[in-house]
Structure 1
Amino acid sequence: MSDRSLDLLLVEDDPVFRLGLATALATVAEVTVLDAVETENALSRLSEVAQRDHLVMAVEVLSTQDGFDPLSFIQDIREQYPDVPILLLTALQDRRLLLALQASGVAAYLPKGSSIDAIASTLQQIATGETVWQFSGTPQTPSPGSLNVPKPPPRWLYNLRRLGLAQIRESLQEIEQKFDQEEQLTTLDWVFWKGRQRELKAAQWLVDQLLPVEVVLTPPDSPQSPPPQLPENEASEVPENSAIVRQPSVVEEVLNKVHFGVDNKTGVRMEFDILQPDKRQELLYLAVQQWEKIIEELQFLQVTEGELDAQKMLIVRELWQNTTLEFLRKYCPPSEESVSLVDRVIRNTASLDETRLQKIPFVVDLCAYFLFASPVKIDNIPYPYDSPEAKKRVMFWLEHLLLNIANGSVQLILNEFAEAEQLKYILYERQFLSSREIARLRNDLSWQYRQNQYFGEPKAIFESQYRLFILVGNQVRMTKIYAPRLEELEQLTGLRWGVTIALEFRDAIAPRLRAIISFAGSGVVYILTQVIGRAIGLIGQGVVQGLGNTVQETRYRRKQNRN
């Protein structure tokens, strides 16, 4: 990064984000934050500082609601202050809008939530006249320091936002109806529903702010800024068998489950038990996002169905590495980066391959379903890819894959950052803050891994079963599905092979042994009841009779003595 000092005017309507970003950028030596203002005050404040030599602007465009036109706003700035470079920070991902903003003179674009280093580096670049922009209608050669801007969010994220807001609005309408009948509410009920209304409005605001808004904006025709055209290949029709057509039906259902929480109810320890509930959801969201990117890459590379088996480990490894890096880059403290995150991930890849990634089943079938609309075999019966049975089974496969990837990411955190105090307070549940509880969790996981490695997994192989972790509502559950595993059974050696022999021996001996024990038990019961019991009964009867005779004789003697 250059040592050149910059003066920054930050334009942001969200007061929380504005304060946080201004505070973070104030720690960057090369950047001086002159002011952080709202959109309505941006032009007036810019007029006061426009004479500075090294002035740059960072503008956050939130939405087009309430009549706000981001394109006109940017054009006004460019017309009045053409020498001031603008960095656009926005959660909007609509390509037409971004192309229109680029055509109006915006020098750079970064998605909202980018790291402070990325923002500072981009500000330095646009101050020297460079352009950092990936959403261009024509191919461009990026500058050496330009950043790779992520692709727009997937369609399911827009649908998730729409679904969540619809549910919140419906609940708010029900509460309003209750308030219309206020005379029927007790004071306690009124206080409860008022609190519920405040919670829903806060949730509505958060969803509206955090999830991306899908905007379709057609810029006005003008000679100075003609509306940019999308590349021809993007305007082409999507093939009927494309993953873009099939993917939402399965992926969206998985994401809807994650939306309601992820609570481990399997009865076994999981690595992500240590995370706070919202961090578990975030990690799974990232895993889904990376999965979609991998499917898109495989489509672009035109991988054939026959090549998937050879690519299996590369696919799973890339999914785990990308998910882990994306998650840790947001939370890893700088003091922990003496060894880069990439090096740490690479260092742990071999062990994760052996203990977890290689054992994730149905990855090839999952890819074939998303890429080629392949039928799904259930109990050796092929079901069409759009059948309810196929979708349910594929959902099991995908949920098991995502949960294993998430647990693998937390496994790296436990290996590399288990005692990092900053990460503990940000990521961990409160009960796991102490070193003792962290050590206890790691010991439980280690013991559980060995138990599964040497006993649980051989048993599942011998029983021709896979034990999958799935999502049921907001809970993680375990289910068993049949699948032939004869090839794996023949490869078992050592103790793992011995477990299958012990199970077979038990299956061979146990029924006979139970029959013998049952026969012997029946004999013992017969002896106790029919022989010994009757003998005891006869003895008891004799004793009673003897006592009776004695009593009669005693009474007779007393009577004789009286006479």
Structure 2
Amino acid sequence: MSLINGNQDEISIVLLDNDPIFALGLKEVLKTEEYQDINIIATGKTSELKTLLSQYQPNLWLVSLDVNKYPDKVKQFLNYLPQLNQQDISIVLLLSSGFMPEVSNIAIIKGFCYKDADIDELVKTLRICAKGENYFNFSNANIQPKKINNWLSKQCQIGLREIAQEIKNIDNYIQGRKLSLADILYWQGRKRELKLAKWLISQMMPNNSSYTVNNYLNSNPSQESENQENNPDSQLVKIGYSSGGIVLSDVPNNTYDLTLAKIQASLKNSTGYLLEIDILQESKKQELLIILIEEWKNQLNELANLNIESEELSEKVDIFVKDVWQNSAIKFLSRYYKPSPNNSYDLVDLTLKEANLIQEKILIQIPFILDIIDYQIHQKPLIIDSQVYQYDSDSGKNLEEIIWQNIIINLSLSVMTFILNRFYDDVIIKNNLFKMELKSSRKVAMFRNNLVWKYRKEKYWRNPTNIFDDRFSMFKLSYEGIENFMITHPRHEELNTIKGIPWLVTILIELRDSLSKGIKSLENTIGKALIYVLTDIIGKGIGLIGKGILQGIGKRIKN
């Protein structure tokens, strides 16, 4: 709600309109000298009428009802008005073209005027109603939408077609070229501007539908929602995974936008563990993660369009994750890898061959992939540690964010594992991707050796410990960087399958747990025994000896 200074000598008006752009335009028009007696002292939405009644006592309440844009709100408002018939207020309605409400049972409505009418007609209606008279202005009430829309509608349609073509050209340009992260962000910003312009034109474009009060009050519009439910693409839009390119919302309101915002904020490693992407420049980390997110989104759309049931998803998960990994690896490396006499790999063939090994060794260990795909496509609840997290609930969104970000980060680590194994000595790769202080052959070798020690520690200690504790170590993004997070969930099946040194580690942990209480009890018993010996036996003995010495000294002194 916005406030404007008023004057008691003028016609004070509170304007209620759900369209802030129209309200702003009307206020500006009424500021001219010929309309100085009209003073809008406050503005708000139709839903705020009850609240504003206790705050203001204007001469008139000017209420704009656009049944074309806000049918539900108009219906709710008209049903509420009869409850105010006993109050001393005067309401003037500003109606959309073709809408004729039944107001005979609403005494507080003193008049109405159509938005298509000239501004002088509106001011005339306000001045008459402010004197306490009723005035219903039917100017432009019977104008057919086709006459109103004739020129403006054509211009809007031409503009929309040009914007759609420009967006398509940008998509083709991005897909057909190897662009830097800065270029990608620039073109996506350009797409956001075009989409905003498209939305504004759509709002200004005249609606070709006309309404009557009987059809409107008896209607229950649900066809659009039914069409969305039957359209698989519309369900993807609900969760923020549209079929377009990388588009970051100005106000992140879903997991997709929120993750992109955090990626652009910081990717500092705050886990306490060495990560494969630590060798990358900050901008290259962002680029890799954005490619993975986009590829995940594309593969998710393709999977959704197949209309696969939840029971059949498990058969597609391995292929889905491998496709995301190999397509992302090829897209990322193709921007920087150039064959040379010393390193003449065929990038596509090498990546496809490596994909199977990466999947068997790394990707298969990433938890909850099937759960998150089922959640995002079929909107099934997440069940973690016997707790149910419903789709689109606050707890469900938080858990989805953690699980999905952990998958994306682990995919990025596996891409870097491939690069460090196959291209660690490629000069072009090192110069373009690695940090300045880590691109020498010695530093790269040290980094790879440190990773080997990390893998051993994870394999022989950290992973068996997590399995035995029924928990998963997850990576999550924050605005400060990458953090570590623990999720508890039963892992009995994994516990029964581990062998060798990891199995021995679990036995040692169990042995430690079983003996710890007995050892503590033994420590307490031994401690009490030592205290008794030192105080009651040795201490008293030393005391008696000292007493005897003192007595001997006393007798000597007397003699």
How far residue 499 of structure 1 moved from its aligned partner, in angstroms, is 2.4
Matched, 1:381 2:387: yes
Matched, 1:451 2:457: yes
- CA–CA distance in 2 between the matches of 1:113 and 1:311? 26
Deviations 1:244-264 (A, max 9, x none): 111361111112211111111
> What amino acid is aligned across from residue 340 of structure 1 in structure 2?
D
Of 328, 334, 351, the residue aligned with 1:329 is 334
Of 459, 466, 486, the residue aligned with 2:492 is 486
Secondary structure, counterpart of 1:213 in structure 2: helix
Deviations 1:453-478 (A, max 9, x none): 23222222222111111123222221
User: 5 Å matches for 1:67-78?
Assistant: none
> What amino acid is aligned across from residue 469 of structure 2 in structure 1?
E
- Percentage of matched positions with identical amino acids: 29
Distance change in 2, residues 1:208/1:321 (3 Å): closer
Matched, 1:305 2:310: yes
Match of 1:213 in 2: 191
Once structures 1 and 2 are overlaid, which stretch shifts more, 329-338 or 474-483?
Answer: 329-338
- CA–CA distance in 2 between the matches of 1:438 and 1:305? 44
Match of 1:397 in 2: 403
User: 5 Å matches for 1:242-261?
Assistant: 242-247=235-240, 249-261=254-266
The alignment covers a number of residue pairs equal to 355
The answer to whether the Cα contact below 8 Å between 1:305 and 1:372 also exists between their aligned partners in 2 is: yes
How far residue 508 of structure 1 moved from its aligned partner, in angstroms, is 1.6
Matched, 1:413 2:419: yes
Of 424, 427, 433, the residue aligned with 1:427 is 433
> What amino acid is aligned across from residue 286 of structure 2 in structure 1?
Q
> What amino acid is aligned across from residue 354 of structure 2 in structure 1?
N
How far residue 237 of structure 1 moved from its aligned partner, in angstroms, is 5.3
The answer to whether the Cα contact below 8 Å between 2:267 and 2:282 also exists between their aligned partners in 1 is: yes
Q: Which runs of 5+ in 2 are unaligned?
A: 1-158, 199-225, 242-253
Distance change in 2, residues 1:428/1:514 (3 Å): same
How far residue 379 of structure 1 moved from its aligned partner, in angstroms, is 3.1
Matched, 1:272 2:277: yes
> What amino acid is aligned across from residue 213 of structure 1 in structure 2?
K
The answer to whether the Cα contact below 8 Å between 1:258 and 1:474 also exists between their aligned partners in 2 is: no
User: 5 Å matches for 1:86-485?
Assistant: 96-97=161-162, 100=165, 110-112=172-174, 114-115=176-177, 211-214=189-192, 215-216=194-195, 238-239=228-229, 242-247=235-240, 249-335=254-340, 338-485=344-491
Query: If you compute each CA radius of gyration, which structure gives the higher value, 1 or 2?
Result: 2
Distance change in 2, residues 1:360/1:102 (3 Å): closer
- CA–CA distance in 1 between the matches of 2:416 and 2:167? 39
Distance change in 2, residues 1:109/1:281 (3 Å): closer
The answer to whether the Cα contact below 8 Å between 1:247 and 1:370 also exists between their aligned partners in 2 is: no
Secondary structure, counterpart of 2:392 in structure 1: coil
How far residue 348 of structure 1 moved from its aligned partner, in angstroms, is 2.1
How far residue 384 of structure 1 moved from its aligned partner, in angstroms, is 1.6
- CA–CA distance in 2 between the matches of 1:493 and 1:431? 40
Distance change in 2, residues 1:528/1:347 (3 Å): farther
How far residue 395 of structure 1 moved from its aligned partner, in angstroms, is 0.8
How far residue 409 of structure 1 moved from its aligned partner, in angstroms, is 0.9
Distance change in 2, residues 1:286/1:436 (3 Å): same
- CA–CA distance in 2 between the matches of 1:282 and 1:421? 20
User: 5 Å matches for 1:33-52?
Assistant: none
- CA–CA distance in 1 between the matches of 2:494 and 2:344? 42
- CA–CA distance in 1 between the matches of 2:167 and 2:271? 51
Match of 1:55 in 2: none
Deviations 1:83-112 (A, max 9, x none): xxxxxxxxxxx9944764799xx9x98414
How far residue 280 of structure 1 moved from its aligned partner, in angstroms, is 1.0
How far residue 360 of structure 1 moved from its aligned partner, in angstroms, is 0.4
- CA–CA distance in 2 between the matches of 1:350 and 1:208? 36
Q: Which runs of 5+ in 1 are unaligned?
A: 1-93, 119-156, 158-202, 219-235, 557-563
- CA–CA distance in 2 between the matches of 1:298 and 1:95? 30
Secondary structure, counterpart of 2:367 in structure 1: coil
- CA–CA distance in 2 between the matches of 1:110 and 1:246? 25
How far residue 546 of structure 1 moved from its aligned partner, in angstroms, is 6.0
What is the Cα-based RMSD across aligned positions, in Å? 3.3
> What amino acid is aligned across from residue 245 of structure 1 in structure 2?
K
Query: How high is the TM-score relative to the length of structure 1?
Result: 0.57
The answer to whether the Cα contact below 8 Å between 2:339 and 2:345 also exists between their aligned partners in 1 is: no
The answer to whether the Cα contact below 8 Å between 1:265 and 1:477 also exists between their aligned partners in 2 is: yes
Match of 2:62 in 1: none
Distance change in 2, residues 1:527/1:372 (3 Å): same
Secondary structure, counterpart of 2:525 in structure 1: helix
How far residue 449 of structure 1 moved from its aligned partner, in angstroms, is 1.2
How far residue 398 of structure 1 moved from its aligned partner, in angstroms, is 0.5
- CA–CA distance in 1 between the matches of 2:421 and 2:369? 26
How far residue 536 of structure 1 moved from its aligned partner, in angstroms, is 3.7
Secondary structure, counterpart of 1:469 in structure 2: strand
How far residue 542 of structure 1 moved from its aligned partner, in angstroms, is 5.2
Matched, 1:528 2:534: yes
Secondary structure, counterpart of 2:383 in structure 1: strand
> What amino acid is aligned across from residue 472 of structure 2 in structure 1?
Y
The answer to whether the Cα contact below 8 Å between 1:466 and 1:480 also exists between their aligned partners in 2 is: yes
Distance change in 2, residues 1:109/1:272 (3 Å): closer
The answer to whether the Cα contact below 8 Å between 2:405 and 2:477 also exists between their aligned partners in 1 is: yes
Match of 2:504 in 1: 498
- CA–CA distance in 2 between the matches of 1:376 and 1:260? 28
Secondary structure, counterpart of 2:335 in structure 1: helix
- CA–CA distance in 1 between the matches of 2:549 and 2:291? 85
- CA–CA distance in 1 between the matches of 2:412 and 2:525? 53
The answer to whether the Cα contact below 8 Å between 1:383 and 1:390 also exists between their aligned partners in 2 is: yes
- CA–CA distance in 2 between the matches of 1:375 and 1:395? 14
Match of 1:513 in 2: 519
The answer to whether the Cα contact below 8 Å between 1:283 and 1:406 also exists between their aligned partners in 2 is: yes
Match of 2:41 in 1: none
- CA–CA distance in 2 between the matches of 1:386 and 1:99? 31
Secondary structure, counterpart of 2:533 in structure 1: helix
The answer to whether the Cα contact below 8 Å between 1:344 and 1:416 also exists between their aligned partners in 2 is: no
How far residue 393 of structure 1 moved from its aligned partner, in angstroms, is 0.9
Deviations 1:476-495 (A, max 9, x none): 22121111211222222233
Distance change in 2, residues 1:472/1:528 (3 Å): farther
Deviations 1:106-127 (A, max 9, x none): 9x984148447x9xxxxxxxxx
How far residue 397 of structure 1 moved from its aligned partner, in angstroms, is 0.6
